[in-house]
Amino acid sequence: MSNHLFKGIISYPITPFNAEDGGVDIKTLGRLIDRLIEDGSHAIAPLGSTGESAYLNVDEWYEVAEASVAQVAKRVPVVVGISDLTTQNAVRRAKFAETVGADAVMVLPISYWKLSEREIFRHYAAICEAISIPVMVYNNPATSGIDMTPELIVRMVKEIDNVTMVKESSGDIQRMHRLFHLSNGEIPFYNGSNPLALEAFAAGATGWCTAAPNLIPEWTLRLYEASEAGDLKQAREVFYKQLPLLQFILKGGLPTTIKAGLKLQGFEAGAPRKPLLPLDSAGQNELAAMLKQLHD
Amino acid sequence: MSNHLFKGIISYPITPFNAEDGGVDIKTLGRLIDRLIEDGSHAIAPLGSTGESAYLNVDEWYEVAEASVAQVAKRVPVVVGISDLTTQNAVRRAKFAETVGADAVMVLPISYWKLSEREIFRHYAAICEAISIPVMVYNNPATSGIDMTPELIVRMVKEIDNVTMVKESSGDIQRMHRLFHLSNGEIPFYNGSNPLALEAFAAGATGWCTAAPNLIPEWTLRLYEASEAGDLKQAREVFYKQLPLLQFILKGGLPTTIKAGLKLQGFEAGAPRKPLLPLDSAGQNELAAMLKQLHD
Amino acid sequence: MSNHLFKGIISYPITPFNAEDGGVDIKTLGRLIDRLIEDGSHAIAPLGSTGESAYLNVDEWYEVAEASVAQVAKRVPVVVGISDLTTQNAVRRAKFAETVGADAVMVLPISYWKLSEREIFRHYAAICEAISIPVMVYNNPATSGIDMTPELIVRMVKEIDNVTMVKESSGDIQRMHRLFHLSNGEIPFYNGSNPLALEAFAAGATGWCTAAPNLIPEWTLRLYEASEAGDLKQAREVFYKQLPLLQFILKGGLPTTIKAGLKLQGFEAGAPRKPLLPLDSAGQNELAAMLKQLHD
Amino acid sequence: MSNHLFKGIISYPITPFNAEDGGVDIKTLGRLIDRLIEDGSHAIAPLGSTGESAYLNVDEWYEVAEASVAQVAKRVPVVVGISDLTTQNAVRRAKFAETVGADAVMVLPISYWKLSEREIFRHYAAICEAISIPVMVYNNPATSGIDMTPELIVRMVKEIDNVTMVKESSGDIQRMHRLFHLSNGEIPFYNGSNPLALEAFAAGATGWCTAAPNLIPEWTLRLYEASEAGDLKQAREVFYKQLPLLQFILKGGLPTTIKAGLKLQGFEAGAPRKPLLPLDSAGQNELAAMLKQLHD
């Protein structure tokens, strides 16, 4: 596993909004990225689901992409999330990400109309023709409405230059087994489902793409390190300790819960964008109790 | 049923793109709208799913909204589709639709993150505060990722001014039964699932929101008229005749198949936007055969 | 539709158990069958789901089959339900049903292990080789664990002698459309999903297999008669009146709720067999209110 | 984990049928049980899904139960599978299993009608009142039609004496997480989903209930031993080697594929009972190739 550019804990920063007009707060974003790196993240993934990229307007998106890469400043690799309904706009964003210095892009094919495999393949191919950095295929049927089979994904890795990695967020461990099997264990896959973190590492995941390091970086690292060391008992123990929090942030929506947790930790990052609402007070109390238990 | 502003066949025009640069072809859109009205549509619904509204950029969307309402020119009522991820942008579009003269808006709450019922309610309430024309709640879990229960929908009709109609596209007839039951048959509901057209009218739907009139207007009208007349045998007969085509356009994606069908009928409306691809030649042949059979 | 042996309201009697030892109460069963026929049922279907056939031991099953056919005494046709895990036992029961005078059998392929289409086909073929009366294919994935596609069903009707009818209880109206389409409307299909009764008749169902006539025979007949007459408005009206009760008996389990309803009507038929429990008192009150409203 | 009566590899023998009349072949069953124990199984579980218990008549079931326990002769613990539609018959079988010397029973609540939680609870309670040996709750929604939540299962363990273990065959690793969480890791859970074997051990499963030892006992043991030793890399390696076979036997049906595999290994155990058919020749070739690869 050790020869991949991306491995270990790949952290999603949320996108902070300021209290005045709800615009993107680039300065606070920079502080958050610093904090994630200092806390040990092995890579940074701006403009993922957690980053509310779907809720940013076009100008904001470009601003966040550029500022994030600049802030990381090569301390760790950066993979920028690209999810746009049209191929043309996805290409445009991918080229921009490359231009400002991203190490890779993570491409989620969002659909309104169901896409055929031919349409998905061409979408990836068009993006890859336009850039030279690696592309991570991102499968997340729950948010994107598109469910790519392991067979299609492996075919794209084999036939499209630049497509070299897979992020699986379906939460179905059998998908990872299938990716492993179809590629003889050679295509690196990353887990994007928090409550599956233990089992994904057991099944051979190269990394874990997660928003949890915004709140509990040390626990995510402990799970990765125990897994890397092949120490199953320790991995299980640290996983079960953090699992209630992992389930909570997923169920409550990552931007909503992570922003609430950051505030509880004294890091003000604003509210999520409407229609998303801030975490209600019952949820805040529950989250505060979980964080306390994990930090005692 | 007869006292509703919207009833009968509510037609979705596709959005034509020109061959040169793929931009919106407003002139052809106008011709298509004229054709739909002349063919008997009882209302026009631009910027729905069929209109590829998700694939238009912001300026294009505004242009299509304004041009569509102007073209209809009060010959029939117009309901403009609004589906935007943020509440702020949905409000903006709804206000614009009202300003240019739309008779109603049809609001689909698109989600990236799952929305709670509280978030959905506030999304609708915010839109309704900003405009004075009626709002049709649009439930389409397959494309939007949000599934609103009949209970939530009926509560919104009762508690939010302007929310007065429901479009159900889940394809589950039991949802219509539940809407009928919860409102004692008083909330008008519209069917958005083509292969359910017969049964939705049987269950009391006030109208059918459909892209089929772009291709087979006379058949959709015959089904509506037989249903209105209470003539079940005739309704069944005309439904089964058109059902293969209704299934075909749904399965193949409405913009893709309707544009292909228009071209087969000599009406050039361009290709759908990538990643959507034009209908392949096997599909074109299948569609041509169906159209021939229905027009003989 | 009118030339089929089975059409209209096909009623399922429950199987009464006596209070003393929980054994089958044949005498009460006879009285119930008389009542169903006198109330207008067009056919009787003993040993269906409602008849708790799955909970009877082998001897009881044979006793109920024989007694039911004898009690009907050719006043209306009888179709006996056959659902046995092994082909050998299903054949045995089917032969017995024919011997004692059943007009047809309704065969549900119960599975523990998923059956392939080849296995299902041979199961039906083996039964049909052993008997000469018509076989109704019964598709009910929720209770049997096997979901037969319309394609398989139509193939069996075409290729296996005696297989002549289909009962669809998946609750998916599109299955009926598909059966209609694949057979050019020539294979008679029967609806086994109570809350779909209106739409199934709209779609062309030849009959409705239902336990509701145990409690509200007049309402089921009114729906059938309005549908037969092609009077959609009347059909819709009588359907919505009885729908809450249809939903209630389905959701609460047919043996449980029908037995409770019979008792409320002064007809004592005992309790269902454990693990099934009698309807609790809240349920009884709800059911009593529904029955009162329908009989006022 | 080490203080549980049942742990490690809990093997399901198939039930052999003789070629003459298809009856149970007790002598061959005895030889198979010997082979499983000699090959290292930590426990034997007759009359599970693999044992075609659903297809045995009542007398055969009793015969297999008695003979299996006698054959094991206390060399390892025995858990007898009980799945009967009625509570009365389930009690009868459980008592018999205890009488002939079973160490525990594994109870699967089969349903025809959906059971409420109250009905499921009483079913288990009635069985537990009648016997004194431990009861393993067996959740297998795909074959039984009943899906018990972890909450219900944990409540039964706490409130019903004798209910002490859980077998989870839903294939959803999150169920195991929930069982762990709700019981602070104190209720032993067993995995019944072959393709989840690695991850279930990672998540803390006490044992693996599986038919695979009929064919590849050494591989199942290696996985268990690596997991017990906490050696994640070794566990992953041996799991991926056997995974294709685990998927194959599940997909093809356990009785069908295990009997075919035994025959390929020179152990004649007859065919499964109709409607189940023997593995077709393409399947036999595929299975032979897998077995060869694992035994080279």
Range of the domain at A133: 8-231
Closest CA relative to residue D15, chosen from D43, D56, D44: D56
CB A211 within 8 A of CB A9: no
Residue C99 makes CB contacts below 8 A (sequence gap 6+) with: none
Number of neighbours of residue C241 by Cβ within 10 angstroms: 15
Give the model's confidence band at A3: pLDDT under 50 very low, under 70 low, under 90 confident, else very high: low
Taking contacts as CB-CB distances below 8 angstroms, the residues of chain B near C150 are none
Q: What is the mean pLDDT of residues A16-33?
A: 96
* Cα gap D272→B37, rounded to integer Å: 64
Give the model's confidence band at C144: pLDDT under 50 very low, under 70 low, under 90 confident, else very high: confident
Please name every residue paired with C107 in a beta bridge, in sequence order, or none if there are none: C82, C137
Give the model's confidence band at A143: pLDDT under 50 very low, under 70 low, under 90 confident, else very high: confident
Nearest CA in chain A to B256: A113
Q: Which one of B186, B187, B199 makes the best mutation probe of the C interface by having the most chain C beta carbons within 10 Å?
A: B199
| Domain count within chain B | 1
Taking contacts as CB-CB distances below 8 angstroms, the residues of chain C near B177 are 195, 240, 243
Q: Which of D7, D12, D124, D167 is catalytic?
A: D167
Is residue C1 pLDDT above 60, yes or no?
no
The token duo for B165 is: 């109609």
Predicted pLDDT of residue A4: 81
Cα angle C115, C120, C121 (rounded to 5 degrees) comes to 150
What is the complex's ipTM, to 2 decimals? 0.95
Is residue A277 pLDDT above 50, yes or no?
yes
Chains touching chain A through at least 3 C-beta pairs below 8 angstroms are B, D
* Cα gap A108→A117, rounded to integer Å: 14
* Cα gap A283→B149, rounded to integer Å: 23
Is residue A285 pLDDT above 80, yes or no?
yes
The dihedral over CA atoms of C195, C200, C205, C208, expressed in degrees to the nearest 10, equals 10
Residue C85 belongs to some domain of the structure: yes
The residues of A annotated with a catalytic role in the active site are 138, 167
Query: Do B115 and A276 lie within an 8 Å CB cutoff?
Result: yes
* Cα gap A168→A189, rounded to integer Å: 7
pLDDT tens sequence across C9-21: 999 999 999 999 9
The dihedral over CA atoms of D234, D236, D239, D240, expressed in degrees to the nearest 10, equals -120
| Among candidates D185, D235, D243 on the partner chain, residue whose Cβ is nearest the Cβ of A232 | D235
| Among candidates B185, B195, B202 on the partner chain, residue whose Cβ is nearest the Cβ of C232 | B202
Query: Do B232 and C232 lie within an 8 Å CB cutoff?
Result: yes
* Cα gap C209→C205, rounded to integer Å: 10
pLDDT tens sequence across C213-242: 999 999 999 999 999 999 999 999 999 999
Number of neighbours of residue D266 by Cβ within 10 angstroms: 6
Q: What is the mean pLDDT of residues C145-169?
A: 97
Nearest CA in chain A to B116: A276
Predicted pLDDT of residue C3: 56
Number of neighbours of residue D31 by Cβ within 10 angstroms: 14
Residue C269 belongs to some domain of the structure: no
Q: What is the mean pLDDT of residues C288-295?
A: 96
Q: Is C274 on the interface with B (CB under 8 A)?
A: no
Size of interface C-D (CB pairs under 8 A): 84
Q: What is the mean pLDDT of residues C269-291?
A: 97
Provide the mean pLDDT of chain D.
Answer: 96
Residue B18 belongs to some domain of the structure: yes
- Letter string b/e over residues C117-148, b meaning 16 or more CB atoms within 10 A of that residue's CB: eebbbbbbbbbbeebebbbbbbbbeebbbbeb
| Among candidates D86, D143, D256 on the partner chain, residue whose Cβ is nearest the Cβ of C55 | D86
pLDDT tens sequence across A177-216: 999 999 999 999 999 999 999 999 999 999 999 999 999 9
Query: Do C276 and D115 lie within an 8 Å CB cutoff?
Result: yes
Taking contacts as CB-CB distances below 8 angstroms, the residues of chain B near C2 are none
Residue D275 belongs to some domain of the structure: no
Residue C1 belongs to some domain of the structure: no
Predicted pLDDT of residue A2: 42
- Touching, A vs B (3+ Cβ pairs under 8 A): yes
Taking contacts as CB-CB distances below 8 angstroms, the residues of chain D near A234 are 230
Residue B2 belongs to some domain of the structure: no
Nearest CA in chain C to B200: C199
Cα angle B287, B289, B293 (rounded to 5 degrees) comes to 120
CATH of the domain at D55: 3.20.20.70
Query: Do D273 and C119 lie within an 8 Å CB cutoff?
Result: no
Predicted pLDDT of residue D122: 97
Taking contacts as CB-CB distances below 8 angstroms, the residues of chain D near A182 are none
Query: Do A203 and D198 lie within an 8 Å CB cutoff?
Result: yes
Write down the residue that tokens 């998700």 correspond to: B54
Report H helices in chain A. 26-38, 58-72, 87-99, 117-130, 141-144, 150-159, 173-182, 197-202, 217-228, 232-251, 254-264, 281-295
Q: What is the mean pLDDT of residues B159-170?
A: 97
Nearest CA in chain A to B249: A113
Closest CA relative to residue B250, chosen from B291, B211, B203, B290: B211
Q: What is the DSSP string of A174-192?
A: HHHHHHHHHTTT-S-EEE-
Report H helices in B4-149. 26-38, 58-72, 87-100, 117-130, 141-144
* Cα gap A208→A292, rounded to integer Å: 24
Give the model's confidence band at B145: pLDDT under 50 very low, under 70 low, under 90 confident, else very high: confident
CB A243 within 8 A of CB A293: no
Residue A17 belongs to some domain of the structure: yes
The rounded percent of chain D whose pLDDT value lies above 70 is 99
* Cα gap B43→B47, rounded to integer Å: 13
Closest CA relative to residue B215, chosen from B193, B194, B184: B194
CB A192 within 8 A of CB A167: yes
Residue D79 belongs to some domain of the structure: yes
Write down the residue that tokens 């123990």 correspond to: A237
Sign of the torsion angle spanned by Cα atoms B290, B291, B296, C1:
positive
Higher pLDDT, B204 or D296: B204
Residue A227 makes CB contacts below 8 A (sequence gap 6+) with: A198, A201, A202, A235, D232
Q: Which one of B173, B232, B239, B246 makes the best mutation probe of the C interface by having the most chain C beta carbons within 10 Å?
A: B232
- 3-state SS, B211-252, equals CHHHCCHHHHHHHHHHHHCCEHHHHHHHHHHHHHHHHHHHHC
Provide the mean pLDDT of chain A.
Answer: 96
Cis peptide leading into D134, omega within 30 of 0? no
Rg (CA), chain C: 18
The rounded percent of chain A whose pLDDT value lies above 90 is 94
Q: Is C277 on the interface with D (CB under 8 A)?
A: yes
Number of neighbours of residue B55 by Cβ within 10 angstroms: 24
Give the model's confidence band at D145: pLDDT under 50 very low, under 70 low, under 90 confident, else very high: confident
- Which residues 237-266 on chain D approach chain A with CB closer than 8 angstroms? 240, 243-244
Give the model's confidence band at D3: pLDDT under 50 very low, under 70 low, under 90 confident, else very high: low
Predicted pLDDT of residue B1: 37
Q: Is A230 on the interface with D (CB under 8 A)?
A: yes
The residues of C annotated with a catalytic role in the active site are 138, 167
| Among candidates D116, D145, D253 on the partner chain, residue whose Cβ is nearest the Cβ of C113 | D253
pLDDT tens sequence across C91-136: 999 999 999 999 999 999 988 888 999 999 999 999 999 999 999 9
The dihedral over CA atoms of A46, A51, A54, A58, expressed in degrees to the nearest 10, equals -60
Cis peptide leading into B141, omega within 30 of 0? no
The alpha-carbon gap from D123 to the nearest alpha carbon of chain C, in Å, equals 6
| Among candidates B173, B177, B230 on the partner chain, residue whose Cβ is nearest the Cβ of C232 | B230
Query: Do B275 and A86 lie within an 8 Å CB cutoff?
Result: yes
Predicted pLDDT of residue D143: 86
The Cβ-side half-sphere exposure at C199, using a 13 Å CA radius, reads 29
